[in-house]
């Protein structure tokens, strides 16, 4: 009993002495946990501080507002698209890309981002507009562009399908149906998106 009492105290003291990047990482992780469990409306700076086992002042010194804290937490944690799928056909490439996007959307950082999108009012969402575009929309539209370009080179896709409306179709539809219809995008949903929307837009005999 004496040994356990004296060995527990240093560990607690060490956690309270965290500084710099270690403490900041703990705060960002706690913010993600709050978003994933209680959502945007339930997230408080006090709750984040408690989750990170630090004082509220330590949070406010780094992030003066809830919006600033959440933006940094999302920026640091949202999955990055490492490579564009190349499975030899436009259909399989687009399906693989959609599965990657779906999995990212329903990861812990993705759940946190969806809480922001669903619960923030228009003025608050504006604070996250650049983050959503830069971390979510633009990487996916670039990937669609690359897949479409390869498809044109292989003769699978008609040349005039290379335009911004086509590139935007998948991220726009996935974000719209996630927000407005609470779609979870199972594999069948993704196949229907590709087979009934994208392939008719892309194939050489369309129009």
The CATH number for 183's domain is: 1.10.357
> Do 95 and 13 have their domain in common?
no
- pLDDT given for residue 6 in this prediction: 32
Same domain, 167 and 133: yes
**What total number of domains does the chain contain?**
2
Any idea of the CA torsion for 61, 66, 68, 73, to the nearest 10 degrees?
100
* pLDDT value of residue 15: 43
Q: What is the pLDDT of residue 3?
A: 40
Backbone angles phi, psi at 162, to 5 degrees: -80, 80
Domain around 31: 2-64
pLDDT given for residue 17 in this prediction: 56
Region 27-40: what's the mean pLDDT? 94
Q: Per the domain annotation, does 59 fall within a domain?
A: yes
**pLDDT above 80: residue 49:** yes
CATH code for position 45: 1.10.10.60
User: What distance separates the 2 farthest-apart alpha carbons in the chain?
Assistant: 81
Residue 36 covered by a domain = yes
84 assigned to some structural domain: no
Residue 206, pLDDT > 70, answer no
Are 59 and 102 members of one domain? no
Determine the 3-state secondary structure of 81 from DSSP. Answer: coil
Same domain for 192 and 95: yes
Average pLDDT, integer, range 46-52: 96
* pLDDT higher than 80, residue 205: no
pLDDT of residue 1: 39
Exposed, middle or buried: residue 118 (CB in 10 Å: 0-12, 13-18, 19+)? middle
Tens of pLDDT, residue by residue over 153-194, are 999 999 999 999 999 999 999 988 988 888 889 999 999 999
Q: Quote the pLDDT of residue 25.
A: 95
19-23 mean pLDDT? 85
Where does the chain have alpha helices with state H?
Answer: 2-16, 20-42, 45-52, 56-62, 66-77, 90-105, 108-119, 122-127, 129-132, 138-154, 164-181, 187-193, 199-202
Residue 147 forms part of a structural domain: yes
pLDDT of 183 reads 84
The answer to whether residue 54 sits within a structural domain is yes
**pLDDT for the residue 83:** 87
The rounded mean pLDDT for the chain is 87
Confidence class of residue 123 from pLDDT cuts 50, 70 and 90?
A: confident
In this prediction, residue 82 carries a pLDDT of 76
Q: Report if residue 75 sits inside a domain.
A: no
Residue 78 lies in a domain: no
End-to-end CA distance of the chain: 80
3-class SS of residue 139: helix
Question: For residue 68, what are the contacts with CB-CB under 8 A and spacing of at least 6?
Answer: none
Question: Within a domain: residue 56?
Answer: yes
Query: Could you tell me if 97 and 165 lie in one domain?
Result: yes
| Residues 130-139, mean pLDDT to the nearest whole number | 90
What is the predicted pLDDT for the residue at 171?
Answer: 92
134 and 196 both lie in a single domain: yes
């Amino acid at each position: 009993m004496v040994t356990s009492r004296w060995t527990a105290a240093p560990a607690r003291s060490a956690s309270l002495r965290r500084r710099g990047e270690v403490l900041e990482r703990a705060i960002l992780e706690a913010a993600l946990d709050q978003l994933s469990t209680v959502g945007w409306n339930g997230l408080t700076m006090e709750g984040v501080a408690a989750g990170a086992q630090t004082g509220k002042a330590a949070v406010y010194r780094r992030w003066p507002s809830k919006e600033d804290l959440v933006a940094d937490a999302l920026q640091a944690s949202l999955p990055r698209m490492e490579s564009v799928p190349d499975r030899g056909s436009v259909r399989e490439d687009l399906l693989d890309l959609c599965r990657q996007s779906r999995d990212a959307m329903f990861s812990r950082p993705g759940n946190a981002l969806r809480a922001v999108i669903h619960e923030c009012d228009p003025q608050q969402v504006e604070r996250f507009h650049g983050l959503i575009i830069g971390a979510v929309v633009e990487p996916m539209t670039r990937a669609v562009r690359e897949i479409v370009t390869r498809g044109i080179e292989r003769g699978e896709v008609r040349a005039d399908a290379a335009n911004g409306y086509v590139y935007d179709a998948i991220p726009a539809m996935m974000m719209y149906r996630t927000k407005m219809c609470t779609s979870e995008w199972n594999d069948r949903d993704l196949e229907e998106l590709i087979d009934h929307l994208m392939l008719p837009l892309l194939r050489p005999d369309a129009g």
